[in-house]
Amino acid sequence: MPDRLVELAHGGGGTMTAELIALIREYVGNPLLDRLEDSATLDLAGRTAFTTDSFVVSPLEFPGGDIGRLAVCGTVNDLAVVGAIPRYISLALVIEEGLPFERLGRLLSSVRAAAEEAGVVIACGDTKVVERGKADGLYINTSGLGSIPDGANVSVHNAVPGDAVLISGEIGLHGVAVLAARGGLGFASSARSDVAPLNGLLAPLVAEIDVHAMRDPTRGGCSAALHEIAGASGVSIVLDEASLPVPPVVAGACELLGTDPLEMPNEGKALVVVPEGRAARAAELLRVHPYGRAAVQIGRVTRRGPFPVTLATALGERLVEAPRGELLPRIC
Amino acid sequence: MPDRLVELAHGGGGTMTAELIALIREYVGNPLLDRLEDSATLDLAGRTAFTTDSFVVSPLEFPGGDIGRLAVCGTVNDLAVVGAIPRYISLALVIEEGLPFERLGRLLSSVRAAAEEAGVVIACGDTKVVERGKADGLYINTSGLGSIPDGANVSVHNAVPGDAVLISGEIGLHGVAVLAARGGLGFASSARSDVAPLNGLLAPLVAEIDVHAMRDPTRGGCSAALHEIAGASGVSIVLDEASLPVPPVVAGACELLGTDPLEMPNEGKALVVVPEGRAARAAELLRVHPYGRAAVQIGRVTRRGPFPVTLATALGERLVEAPRGELLPRIC
C-alpha cells in the first residue's frame, strides 16, 4: 500500500483504527502489545524509574536520525541518567491525517530498531489521528520504566564540591543537524544528530563507580542541564573552555547564529558527575563504548558561588547563562 | 497574569520553559514532581499494569468535563479495567503557542482534581510547545501504573460462554456531549459527559467477584469494546435491546445522526463480564457507588456463533457491526 494515507477515520476507534493498529503491529508488534489489553501487565520489583517525554521534532527525519529513534532514545536516556536499567516503554502516536502509511512504517521501523538496540520492550501503545495541518505528520509520546540497581543513588541533587564533571562526547550535534535540516542555517552542514540510547554506555559506570549525578543535555543543551544540577545540588560548576569537545561543524554553526555550543541540544550525550578521584576511571569506562569514545572531563563542582555555572577561559572566567529558549523550538 | 499567553520559546528548554513549568507545578506540583529528576523513582512490587493514552479532544472544554479530567480518567480507567489499583500517572503536555496561561491553569486544576479523586500521584511530566495552528490549544498524554491485586485475573481474553455482561450505567453521554459542544448536532443538547474515574467503582467488584473481563467503552463505544472482548475470548455476545440503558438525550441524538447508541463513546462506564451466578451480586456492588447507580445486565456470552455481537430485539436478533470510525474523530 505505497500510496495509502492515514485518514481521520483511522482515529475513530472502529475497524479503520484496527487497520491502523495492524500496520503498527507489523512494525513494532510483540507478545505484550499483541495481547491488546487496556494495560500491559509487567513484573517489577524494587525501585522503579518512571519518565515521560513527548516528541514534536520538525522535520520528522533529519541527518543521523528521525522522530522514531529520537522518541525511544530520549526516554531510554532519561531512565539511564538516573542510574536505571530501561526495561519497558509505551508508544503513543498522534498522527496527522494524510501521513502516508509508507512513511509511518519507515518511522516505526526506526522505533523498533532503537528499542532493540536499547533492549527495551514496547509494552503498550495508543493511536490518535488529527486533521490535516495539525501535528506536522506525527507527534510521539513515550513513557519509560526502568529498574534501579541496588546501591545506585544518582540524582541531580547529589553533586558535591570537589566532584568532576565529564561529558560523554562531542556536543551540539543534534541541534545543528536539525537546524540544518530545516534550512535554518542558511547553508549546507555535514552535522549528523548524535541521537543514541545511552543505557549501554552508562550502566557499567553506575555498576562500578559511585556516580553522583547525571543528565542528558537535550533541550537547552549543556548549559540548561548544568544549571539544573547546580541548582538542585546547591553548588556551582566551573567549566574549562579548552577541554570542551566542540566539533568544527558545531563551532561554525554557533558562530554564524551568534549562539553558544553549550546551548545546543544533544540526544546522545550524558553529563556525568563523579567524585574527583574516580574521574579518570569514569572517562576510561566511557571511552570503551562506541558512544563514549570522546568522553572527557570538562569541569568541576565547587561550593556555591555567586554564579551557578561559569567557564574558565584564557581571558578569565565568564558567566554561562541559562538559555531562555527562543533559539530552538521543536528540536525534540 | 490573566492575559499572558504561551509562546513558542516556552518550549525551548531554557528559563522560559522553567517559567512554564513553575506554572504547571503551581497546579499539579507534589513532592515527586518537585524533585525535577529526569525520571521519578517509585517502589513497585508484584504485578504492575502499564498503559498510555493521548488525548486530543476537541473542544478542550465540554459539558461535564474537559481535556484535563478526561486525560486522568482515561488512563485511570484503562488500569481499573484490567483489575489494577491505579497508583501513578505521567502528564505530558503539547501546548499550542497562544494558549492563555489562565486557561492552561484552569485545565491543570481539573487534572489535579481528577487525580485527587482517583487517588493517583502525578509522578513525572513533560512540556512541549508547538506553533499556532497546531495542537488545537492542548494535547495531553498520560501514562499510568497500577498494582494488580493477588488473585485478580481480569482480561479481555477471559470471557467464557455462560458469563453475564453488565454495563455500569447509561451509555453514550460523552459522545453526545462533545458532539453537541462542537455544534455537530445542529441543536442544543442537555447531554453532559460521563467522564469519571472508575477505580473506586470497580475495585470492590474485583476484590469480591471472579471478574472475567472488563473494558471501558470509549472510542467506538460499547460496540467496539464488545467486539474486542468477543474477538479476544473467541466467544459471541448477545445483547438484550430492552435492557440497554440509553438515556433519551442519547437516543434522540443518535436517531438524528442515523447512528447507534452502542457506537457512542463513554468515558465513565465499564462493561463487566462475570460468571452468570455472580451477575446479581455484581450489579448490587456497582449500584452502591455514585458512578454505578444505573448498572444493569445487558447481555450474555455464548459459544462463538456466526456473528461476534448480536442484539436481541422484539423483532428478532440483529447483527451489531463493529463501527468503522468516521463519525467521531477527536472525541477523546
How far from the centroid of its chain's Cα atoms is residue A263's Cα? 15
Average pLDDT, chain A: 93
What's the rounded Cα separation, in Å, for the pair B38 and A40?
A: 23
Q: Are B78 and B270 in contact (CB under 8 A)?
A: no
pTM (global) more than 0.90:
yes
Size of interface A-B (CB pairs under 8 A): 293
Q: What is the pLDDT of residues A82-128, one digit of tens each?
A: 999 999 999 999 999 999 999 999 999 999 999 999 999 999 999 99
Do A37 and B330 count as a contact with CB atoms less than 8 A apart? no
* B152 three-class SS: coil
Element (H, E) at A221: helix A221-233
Exposed, middle or buried, A209 (CB in 10 Å: 0-12/13-18/19+)?
Answer: middle
Chain B nearest-CA residue for A152: B41
Q: Which residues of B touch A30 (CB under 8 A)?
A: none
Q: Are B82 and B154 in contact (CB under 8 A)?
A: yes
Chain B nearest-CA residue for A128: B54
Do B38 and A215 count as a contact with CB atoms less than 8 A apart? yes
Task: State mean pLDDT over A65-78.
Answer: 97
Q: Which residues of A touch B265 (CB under 8 A)?
A: 13
E-strand stretches of B135-279: 138-147, 164-167, 213-215, 235-240, 271-274
Measured distance between the N- and C-terminal CA atoms of chain A, rounded to whole angstroms: 29
Supply the DSSP symbol for A314.
T
Q: Which residues of B touch A221 (CB under 8 A)?
A: 13
Task: State mean pLDDT over A260-274.
Answer: 97
Do A17 and B143 count as a contact with CB atoms less than 8 A apart? no
Do B12 and A328 count as a contact with CB atoms less than 8 A apart? yes
Q: Could you read off the pLDDT tens digit of each residue along chain B, which spans 332 residues?
A: 557 898 888 887 778 888 888 888 888 888 888 877 888 888 787 889 999 999 999 999 999 999 999 999 999 999 999 999 999 999 999 999 999 999 999 999 999 999 999 999 999 999 999 999 988 899 999 999 999 999 899 999 999 999 999 999 999 999 999 999 998 777 778 899 999 999 999 999 999 999 999 999 999 999 999 999 999 999 999 999 999 999 999 999 999 988 999 999 999 999 999 999 999 999 999 999 999 999 999 999 999 999 999 999 999 999 999 888 766 778 89
Q: Which residues of B touch A216 (CB under 8 A)?
A: 38
Q: What is the pLDDT of residue A40?
A: 84
In this model, does residue A20 exceed pLDDT 90?
A: no
- What DSSP line would sit under B265-299, residue for residue? --SS--EEEE-GGGHHHHHHHHHTSGGGTT-EEEE
Q: Are B193 and B176 in contact (CB under 8 A)?
A: no
Q: What is the pLDDT of residues A272-325, one digit of tens each?
A: 999 999 999 999 999 999 999 999 999 999 999 999 999 999 999 999 998 887
Q: What is the pLDDT of residues B279-309, one digit of tens each?
A: 999 999 999 999 999 999 999 999 999 999 9
Q: Cβ atoms within 10 A of the Cβ of A109, count?
A: 16
Residue A222: CA atoms inside 13 Å, Cβ hemisphere, count?
32
Rounded to a whole number, what is the distance in Å from the CA of B312 to chain A's nearest CA? 22
E-strand stretches of chain B: 40-43, 47-55, 61-62, 65-66, 85-96, 121-130, 138-147, 164-167, 213-215, 235-240, 271-274, 296-303, 309-313, 316-319
Rounded to a whole number, what is the distance in Å from the CA of B257 to chain A's nearest CA? 16
C-alpha cell at position B78: 484503562
Write the ipTM: 0.93
Q: What is the pLDDT of residues A221-245, one digit of tens each?
A: 999 999 999 999 999 999 999 999 9
Chain B nearest-CA residue for A15: B324
Q: What is the pLDDT of residues A180-215, one digit of tens each?
A: 999 877 777 889 999 999 999 999 999 999 999 999
Q: Are B332 and A130 in contact (CB under 8 A)?
A: no
Cis peptide before A59 (omega within 30 of 0): yes
Among partner residues A54, A129, A324, which is closest to B141 by beta-carbon distance? Answer: A54
Q: Which residues of A touch B144 (CB under 8 A)?
A: 39
Do B12 and A329 count as a contact with CB atoms less than 8 A apart? yes
Among partner residues B90, B145, B325, which is closest to A14 by beta-carbon distance? Answer: B325
Q: Which residues of A touch B125 (CB under 8 A)?
A: 52
Positive/negative CA dihedral, A19, A24, A30, A32: negative
Q: What is the pLDDT of residue A327?
A: 66
Q: What is the pLDDT of residue A2?
A: 55
Q: What is the pLDDT of residue A310?
A: 97
Chain A nearest-CA residue for B156: A37
Cis peptide before B59 (omega within 30 of 0): yes
What's the rounded Cα separation, in Å, for the pair B279 and B58?
A: 37
